A and B are shown apart, each in its own frame.
Chain A
Amino acid sequence: MIKIEHLSKNFGSLSVLRDISVEIKEGEVISIIGPSGAGKSTFLRCINLLDRPSSGSILIKGINILDPKIDVAKVRQKMNMVFQAFNLFAHISVLENLTIAPMKLLGKSRESAEKKAHELLNLVGLSDKAGSYPDELSGGQKQRVAIARCLAMEPEVILFDEPTSALDPTMINEVLSVIRRLARQGLTMLIVTHELDFAKDVSSRVFYLDEGGIYEDGTPRQIFENPQKEKTKAFIKKQESFYQHIVSSNYDLYALIAEVDCFCSRLMVNVQSRKNLMVLIEEVLQLFRKSTLSFPLDMTVNYEEKTEMLELLFEAPPGSVNPMLTESGDNGSALPAIESRLQSQEYRQLGGRNRLSLYLKKP
């Protein structure tokens, strides 16, 4: 239904979207997720021509909508958009908000447009608000009117641009349940959202946007339960990372632990976990220092906000050995201090690097 080929979008020298090619089939409900600034809304706005792509083509049922001869208003009728900020006409009633465009652009009679408007208000649970003005409605109600207004134009595709991000938590569900209902009716929808549970539940397909493109594309099950790529994994697990490249064994321990402490403090990591992490950093680095082959060493602290899991990951060059095996259990050994703080550990070779993953016990 929609075929996007080599789509790119630049704002001046800033490249937001780079060479996106993807095909969207009729009836697919696609959630577009990803970090802020990944280009999710820009991607949607390019499809709707609210932002003109810098290059590439967008074919809708075989017609390239970037062709200069195309009537953009007609394109937008087929592909209507629901905005974060509702964008209702404040000076006219809810009913008029729903009828004005079908009458003016689709040439519908008032009677026919109003009949449809009442059906749609019923669909979004607002049949009693036809005579109200937008200012008399809550945020959730306004967004439901915006969805009904979008449907009034009988679009083939609906684009939702963060439809719940301007709403209070109490109002989010009422809007999401309306979108769920539409998804069940087989409408083709692209939804930019930060509501990951909703995306998992409602979509037939998920695009994870990052690095200027569709970084990972899959079913909700694939993306949420078994993401294949690093950034998708980090995003889904709400994982934050601190990375440090340690050039040699003459590292500045205090500067390092001060930076890690700052990272932990920003994420409000439990105080005991922080202390344990600092001990582990010092002790494990000491073990690595026993061999010059261990350096340069990459150290990453991963923190999963959702599960409060802290991982301390070391990646050492080829030829290095597992430092946990070089330590005897003698008096003064670092092992008791390390092992008493761990839930599990794993050592493996990956891509020519030796990876030691230490998972901290939860306090």
Chain B
Amino acid sequence: MIIQTVRESAAMVVSLSGRLDTVTAPDYEKKFDELISREEINFVVDFDKLEYISSAGLRVILATSRRIKGKNGKIHLANISGNVKEVFEMSGFAGIFPVYGTVAEALKMITG
């Protein structure tokens, strides 16, 4: 999995590509640890190029989100489609997180 980050004025945009699974979930966790340690608390996670997510991926998103919430921050999800969307819907994740059609929509929502 490749993780790219771009600092926008409203939030840190984290773009994922490839697979978020048992093997790569620790990479996701590590990246967020690093960002949180830099006092980042608002995030938009872009799933546009993510091909596959397993329950290990869902768990790491949930665990990271709880930590961010503990710092009064929030995680927003964008561009969830295809197989990844199916997994989100099946697991009930779609109702836990704010989900947006695009990164721009998510950023607009954060800015208010």
Contact = CB atoms under 8 A, between A and B. Distances in A.
B22 A286 contact: yes
A332 B62 contact: yes
Contacts of A253: 21-23
Contacts of A282: 21-22, 54, 56
A286 B23 contact: no
A285 B54 CA distance: 12
B62 A340 contact: no
Interface in A294-341: 331-334, 336-337, 340
Contacts of A337: 54-55, 87, 90-91
B99 to A, nearest CB: 15
A334 B54 CA distance: 8
B96 interface: yes
B27 to A, nearest CB: 14
B22 A331 contact: no
Contacts of B93: 331-332
Given A253-B22, A337-B91, A331 B62 contact: yes
Interface in B56-89: 56, 58-59, 62, 83, 87
Nearest to B87: A337
Contacts of A331: 58, 62, 91-93, 96
Contacts, number: 42
Contacts of A286: 22, 54-56
Contacts of B87: 337
Residue of B22, B87, B93 with most chain A CB atoms under a 10 A cut-off = B22
Interface string A273-285: 0010001001101
Contact of A332 (B21, B83, B91): B91
A11 interface: no
A334 B91 CA distance: 8
B59 A279 contact: no
A336 B59 CA distance: 13
B105 to A, nearest CB: 24
Contacts of A275: 83
Given A337-B87, A337-B90, A337-B91, A332 B23 contact: no
B1 to A, nearest CB: 12
Interface of A: 253-254, 275, 279, 282-283, 285-286, 331-334, 336-337, 340
Interface of B: 21-23, 54-56, 58-59, 62, 83, 87, 90-93, 96
27 contacts: A253-B22, A275-B83, A279-B54, A282-B54, A282-B56, A283-B55, A286-B22, A286-B54, A286-B55, A286-B56, A331-B58, A331-B91, A331-B92, A331-B93, A331-B96, A332-B55, A332-B62, A332-B91, A332-B93, A333-B55, A336-B90, A336-B91, A337-B54, A337-B55, A337-B90, A337-B91, A340-B90
